[in-house]
A and B are shown apart, each in its own frame.
Chain A
Amino acid sequence: MEPHDEIVAALLSVLEPLGGELRLLGRVADPLIGNASAKESYLFVPDLHLISPQRRAAFGAYGFNFEKKKLLARLLEPLARLRETWDVMGQKKLVTIQIGDFFDLWREFGHAAKPEEIDDETHGELRDLLYRGGFRNKPYLKATMLLGNHDTKRGVPLNEIPYTLKAMNRSSSGQPFLFATHGDAFDLMETLMPDWLSEFIVHFLGRLTPVNKYTIESWGKKSAKLNKPLGELKDFIMAPEHALGFEGEGAVKVEVGAALPKILARRTADPKGVTHGRFPDFYQALGDAAIQFPSCRRLRVVVVGHSHHAAMILCRPPGGGRPLLLMDVGSWIEKCSYPLDGGDVAIEPSAQLGVIHGNDVRLYQVRMPQD
């Protein structure tokens, strides 16, 4: 069985008994991805914005979708076991990246952050499955945890989480195809400095900035400027219902071995014509970096979160220009709407996952029966 199908089978082993299913929100299966390795499969877990039950009570209906069912943890359990099986066999590898805004310390604490007061068991199953199970004798995903703007409050993180600001796949050539970051960097940098695009390139992709300029603490302190005041967060978080820009005949059901459209993405020839997720800035930054730095010359895929608005955007400039695929992995909070292949429109809790294997990039929506 192909790795994509093994992952689908693992997810459906949980969903089908619950009456749930997977839908395909986006896919690009094309050599332009430029992934030279068939060994790794990459799993992307988007913004979760976890808060404690006590704090959730204060926020009313706000929160992490399907929390009572512990659905995400149930979905990740078979994947953690799959990772261990693959590791033992040695031929395949499951690499997980949580794309940031895992804990929402901004909502968890009204004033000064005291992450050490968060109970060890608060969302303990997700913490175990993603990054700390190895120290508790449990199967886990050993996830790379990206820093989101809600993961710290005034620069203070939950110290048990091994954060990084960005991640790239390991490549035997030293030239990765994949770049992942939370997605707030441009929003923050343009408020701080006039030459923010250059700053992003030299810090996130290249050389020549001073050492230790952006630590997790300093980045977190700066990113606090992006966050809304606490009083506005409740309304802000309850209102959105993201209409996912969708090209094609609707989201098809995903099953093991099912034929899927090879390209299901918003397509554009002009990177400046895309308004989603700072796409033009990523396009320019990666292009400039590719000229300056050898390690950036094969970057073709950017994976982000931050917007809570799942999307797959493929830019192929005419005349053989440099292509770029952006996958916004969405979130597990708020709602989304998108067309189904039968013609109906689904309006449901956002619950997205991204998966890459080889040159096949996919974005899934987890659907559950409406309560």
Chain B
Amino acid sequence: MDKKAPFLAIAVFFLAAVLLFLPSCCASTQELVVIASPETRYDHNRQQLPQDWSLTIGAATETLVVPNLAQDRALAVPPPAWVPHSGDTGADGLPQARLSVLFSGLALPLQNAGEQAEEVSDRDDLSDFLGSGSLAKTGLEAGDMMGAAREEVERDYGAILGMLAAPATLAGMEAVLAWADEHGATTTFRIVDSRFPVTAFKNDRIAVAWGEFWFVLFAIPGSSGYSRLVVVPNPPGDQDFAGKRPAGS
């Protein structure tokens, strides 16, 4: 028997262990981004009325009617325009689960002008959200007061707003990573999304940290490049999302 064989076996074992361990090790060093409650995340132009849209579940297609965002309590009270569930209450007497407002994200590349002259562009509305700061929870509807003047937002976020408007950078993961590297921005692929089944965007999303926010880019399967944006505060608040474990673990 070759005397080197045991050493080779050990070396192979260690190499395999390192290779197996490496991905989880590297993944754990990445920051975790949590797309949480609707009032904190920014996922639509708050100053344009969204369109109703359809959701297909199996063979059935159901139209979701978007509630009037001018009513602040839209989240707390199911608006009458929602399609009612076929049973008002369960056997325990509690109402059926309610759908909350669901948006598919701001369209990318970021638009500088609205379709109509009086419309607030996606870029201007996003700038307004960014100017309110990470603790100003105004993701559903613009606040009554401005948090910052336009110059301030351009100062702090002009670079990433430019990236979000550039089709070349949004073409794919490599381009976004190159941009982040050039600008010293942190990126991560660890994203927990409370809005959609996680598998819907598997491997097709990336988050870029800039200022007080994470900018999460989504690529829809079948389309080219990143086409949707959701913005969430960084840090997300006082919850330790990364430290959460299943009960009993």
Residues of A within 8 A of B (CB): 40, 87, 93, 95-97, 116, 134-137, 140, 142, 144, 157, 159, 161-170, 174, 176, 180, 205-209, 211-212, 215-216, 293-296
Contact = CB atoms under 8 A, between A and B. Distances in A.
B92 interface: no
Interface of B: 39, 70, 72-73, 75-77, 132-138, 143-152, 154-157, 210-212, 237-238
Given A166-B148, A208-B155, A211-B212, 9 more contacts: A93-B144, A134-B72, A162-B138, A167-B145, A205-B152, A211-B211, A212-B211, A215-B134, A293-B151
A interface SS class: mixed
A164 B132 contact: yes
B contact face: mostly helix, strand, loop, or mixed: loop
A135 B75 contact: yes
30 contacts: A95-B145, A134-B72, A134-B75, A135-B73, A135-B76, A137-B73, A159-B135, A162-B136, A162-B138, A163-B136, A164-B136, A164-B147, A167-B145, A168-B149, A169-B146, A174-B150, A206-B152, A206-B155, A208-B155, A211-B155, A211-B156, A211-B157, A211-B210, A211-B212, A212-B156, A216-B134, A216-B135, A293-B151, A295-B149, A295-B151
Contacts of B76: 134-137
Given A93-B144, A144-B144, A216 B149 contact: no
Contacts of A166: 147-148
B231 to A, nearest CB: 14
B227 to A, nearest CB: 26
A208 to B, nearest CB: 6
A177 B151 CA distance: 16
Nearest to B39: A135
A87 B70 contact: yes
A124 to B, nearest CB: 16
A296 to B, nearest CB: 7
Contacts of B147: 164-168
A40 B148 CA distance: 19
Given A97-B145, A212-B211, A295-B151, A142 B72 contact: yes
B133 A170 contact: no
Nearest to A213: B156
A-B pairs, top 8 by smallest CB distance, nearest first, are A207-B155, A167-B145, A295-B149, A134-B72, A95-B144, A211-B211, A144-B145, A162-B137
A170 to B, nearest CB: 6
Nearest to A174: B150
Nearest to B138: A162
A284 to B, nearest CB: 18
A157 B136 CA distance: 13
Q: Which of A40, A96, A144, A165 has the most CB of B within 10 A?
A: A144
A209 B155 CA distance: 8
A85 to B, nearest CB: 13
Nearest to B234: A212
